[in-house]
Structure 1
């Protein structure tokens, strides 16, 4: 690993410490690249959606067959745009959406920051045109544009969610999706297109398991960083990373390193995952912070890279706290990991349903894959649109049964099937009310049934 003139090569201990830091910093970026490569680059792959700057509407909810994104929601059909902003901005057009139907466009950069929103909460359900501009664009707001959204990286991912009330509602969702439109600014203005950006030879991504331990991780991070202009708050961090060969566009060939340095890099990566496990056990599982604290803008996160890493590991592309919050159930009320060998109940006392402006859901995920669980009744979640069909307790509350086998015919409407092995569940509150955001309302514990 070349060093600046006069700089001393880092010791194995220093390499290990920096590698740990780089894994915590870079994992969300490398994992997000894996997903976006599968969606917008790998044309022969099973998850491919479309080329860059092309809107794709998915008029269905996710099922266990959707495997690219961990902890996907199955409440809202998704639409997607992989945005290449190097040549010119894109104009995003949204239609008027009926009152009472939640929708959102979540703008995510290469760092995985949620840097902007359009939709029911952020801009209302009225129609409008919004301009998404990359870091090199110096123009001013054109006529007909409601607002300019600025992204600090050359590429972005725009994730749409359109609420589906029930299976019979899908045609109305399709009608909303048909009103979504994306076009280059030049096309919107009726002007000639600028010169195309240089073609990119996209690096081959690592698989989910390889990302955690392969030294190719650092080469991928370098590839991604070339599309991320340095941020002033990270200059010292980038100078430190450069000590082990990490930097925008730099080649990283682990084969040229000594066995001692390669081992130090591997140890540093392992240290990062140990730090994540400790953070999850002592901060997230204890409720000191929620997973929602790891999603948001750069200003919101204040360079808390462990929070960002944990958010990516547990549910990449989660929303910012004002848009949605995600109470997680990894352990039961007795602090024990969840397993399908046991039966659990989640009870909402009268008047204590999740406080939302849009809707809430509870979704089951199989471990270790963190994907939806295929089951005999094809039910992956229970959500607020299902309330009319749920059976009420004698006092008017609602009990949900999380277990592998049916709780009995009289309770099946309230049954969320669990796998036989380990699992976790995620509650989602879309457009949460203030009582949920400030912690006045708390998600009820998941209790093991007698």
Structure 2
């Protein structure tokens, strides 16, 4: 989970302007229908536009402070995310990322991974432009041995060459790949860098040492920023539709959007809408946004004040539940499948009182023998409760995770207490300190490769292990 809206969206949704319909279309559809379609279309399109915003900043806009690399090139981060990273909300800060947006239109891409020692967790998450996960390479699924894997677009019909361990098919042409490589401690960075240097991406023609096919035509990827999102939300949805053939589940929603002139190859004349239609669109989008916000607040199962969400999934996992997909994207875009990682999240105490670092200090105590049950590792990460970004703090600590356990202090009974507060709890407790903002608090617990045997957090929120309650101590 790399979680709410990207910074590009800001808080502009309440002021969203409308897209355009021709006069003929406007005459054929009532304001009530316009509102209903705009509401459903916003919910359907939110993950698509969020992903587009990330793609534009990471792979298109070279002037962006968040730019990583062009399409089909892996960008290795030889560090973990910090408060300076703002393109994605609620970023994971305990596995250095390698990132790549791919263009699969002209030919497949072959991903190669090196041998990774068995004690180190790594994963390669494959995500389409609608934020559906369509496959995994890594410790849990394919093991830690070296291998070559092929990623193909929705229309590819070629032959799988020898040497390819598995083929993964994306339903869209510009999928996203997230590599996560476990970091044990700061001194371990050179070892992570060595692994990252072994990640490779090659066009299939280069892998086969054959001539490359003709390049795909250039794509007009419109600029995105918070002001353009206000007016062009559905334009971006239409752009991505051009690169994503409709799945059976999408037929109905795309037909509705087409009634408003939204779809592949369509553009909008914003000035053609009547005042009534404009108001209906804005009202519909605001209603959609409110539904997503409410769904985020009720996502998953409440356990001891933690909201354990069902994490992300593939297209079959979401099916046509666009609200579920939008809520998970807003709560944590690019969330892993639950089997890969499960995420208890906390913004409130068990009684519903908001966590506020400006008013209180808190503790989280894991009883002896009851640390999160995982095959890989676990972490608890702190975010600003409003922006859901990492916070600047005096010890540059954004999380506490299981690799830190040898340096942490346990209580006399063998339990482990984390001190969640804005100021140091004192030198004797600082090893267990998770610095909090001087404001509202949002925490995410990540359980990588959670165990399936008891005790287990799976199924999410209904398992035999539960995260301990957060306790206010003053």
The question of a shared fold, defined as TM-score above 0.5 by the shorter chain, is answered with: yes
Q: Are the counterparts in 1 of residues 31 and 276 from structure 2 also a CA contact under 8 Å?
A: yes
Residue equivalent to 1:170: 189
The 10-residue stretch of structure 1 (165-174 or 289-298) with the greater mean CA deviation from structure 2? 289-298
Q: Which residue of 2 aligns with 1:336?
A: 353
For the pair 1:18 / 2:37, whether they are aligned, the reply is yes
Corresponding residue number in structure 1 for 2:294: 278
CA distance in 2, matches of 1:372, 1:222: 32
Unpaired segments of 5 or more residues in structure 2?
1-20
Range with greater deviation from structure 2 (9-18 or 122-131): 9-18
CA distance in 2, matches of 1:202, 1:283: 33
Provide Cα deviations, 1:38-89, integer angstroms capped at 9, x if missing partner.
Answer: 1110112111111111111111111101111111111011001110000000
Say whether residues 1:437 and 2:454 are aligned partners.
Answer: no
2:374 maps to 1:356: yes
Per-residue displacement from partner, 1:372-428 (whole Å, max 9, x unpaired)? 010011110000000111111121011111111122222111110111111200000
1:72–1:371 CA contact under 8 A, matched in 2: yes
Q: Which residue of 247, 253, 266 maps to 1:231?
A: 247
- Distance in 1 separating the partners of 2:330 and 2:90: 10
What whole-Å deviation, never above 9, does each CA across 1:314-348 have from its counterpart, x for those lacking one? 21111111110110011112211111121111110
Secondary structure of residue in 2 paired with 1:51: coil
Alignment map for 1:16-55 (pairs within 5 Å) = 16-55=35-74
| Counterpart check, 1:407 vs 2:419 | no
Contact kept, 8 Å, 2:311 with 2:342, in 1: the verdict is no
In structure 2, how many angstroms separate the alpha carbons of the residues matched to 1:204 and 1:313? 21
Give the secondary-structure state (helix, strand or coil) at the position aligned to 1:149: strand
Is the Cα–Cα contact under 8 Å of residues 132 and 149 in structure 1 kept in the other structure? Answer: yes
**Partner of residue 391 from structure 1, selected from 389, 401, 409:** 409
Q: Which residue of structure 2 lines up, in the alignment, with residue 327 of structure 1? A: 344
CA distance in 2, matches of 1:59, 1:395: 38
Of residues 111, 133, 144, the one that matches 1:92 is: 111
Provide the C-alpha distance between the structure 2 equivalents of 1:303 and 1:290, rounded to a whole number of angstroms. Answer: 23
Given candidates 250, 272, 276, the residue that maps to 1:256 is 272
SS in 2 for 1:160: strand
Contact 2:296 2:328 (C-alpha < 8 Å) held by counterparts: no
Separation (CA, whole Å) in 2 of partners of 1:278 and 1:373? 25
Tell me what 1:416 maps to.
434
Name the structure, 1 or 2, with higher relative contact order (CA <8 Å, separation 6+): 2
Question: Which segments of 5 or more consecutive residues in structure 1 lack a partner in the other structure?
Answer: none
**d(CA) in 1 for partners of 2:40 and 2:306?**
21
SS class of match (1:146): strand
Which region of structure 1 is more displaced relative to structure 2, 329-338 or 176-185? 329-338
C-alpha distance 222-291 of structure 1, shift in aligned 2 (>3 A): farther
Distance 1:289 1:397 in 2: 19
Q: What is the TM-score with the length of structure 1 in the denominator? A: 0.95
Aligned mate of 2:312, from 295, 300, 306:
295
Aligned to 2:350, what secondary structure does the other structure show? coil
* Secondary structure class of the residue paired with 1:267: helix
Q: Cα 1:305–1:120, aligned 2, differ >3 Å: closer, same or farther?
A: same
Structure 1 stretch 156-165 or stretch 40-49: which is displaced more?
40-49
Structure 1 counterpart of 2:3:
none
Structure 2 CA distance for aligned equivalents of residues 381 and 289 of structure 1: 17
CA RMSD of aligned residues (A): 1.8
Deviations 1:139-194 (A, max 9, x none): 12111100111011011000100011001111111111111111000000011000
Q: Return the alpha-carbon distance in structure 1 between the equivalents of residues 203 and 24 of structure 2.
A: 42
1:278 Cα deviation after fit: 2.2
Aligned residues: 446
CA contact (8 A) 2:94 2:183 kept: yes
Question: Relative to structure 1, is the Cα distance of residues 446 and 430 closer, same or farther in structure 2, using a 3 angstrom cutoff?
Answer: same
**Structure 1 residues 231-267: Cα deviation after superposition (integer angstroms, max 9, x where no partner):** 1222122111112222112102222211111111111
Shift of 1:122: 0.8
Conserved in 2, the CA contact under 8 Å of 1:291 and 1:311? no
- The TM-score normalised by the length of structure 2 is 0.91
1:385 and 1:428 mapped to 2: Cα distance? Answer: 13
2:107 and 2:213 in contact (8 A); partners too: yes
Report the Cα distance in structure 1 between the residues aligned to 2:241 and 2:297, rounded to whole angstroms.
31
- Whether the aligned pair in 2 keeps the contact of 1:362 and 1:428 (CA below 8 Å) is yes
CA contact (8 A) 2:41 2:253 kept: no
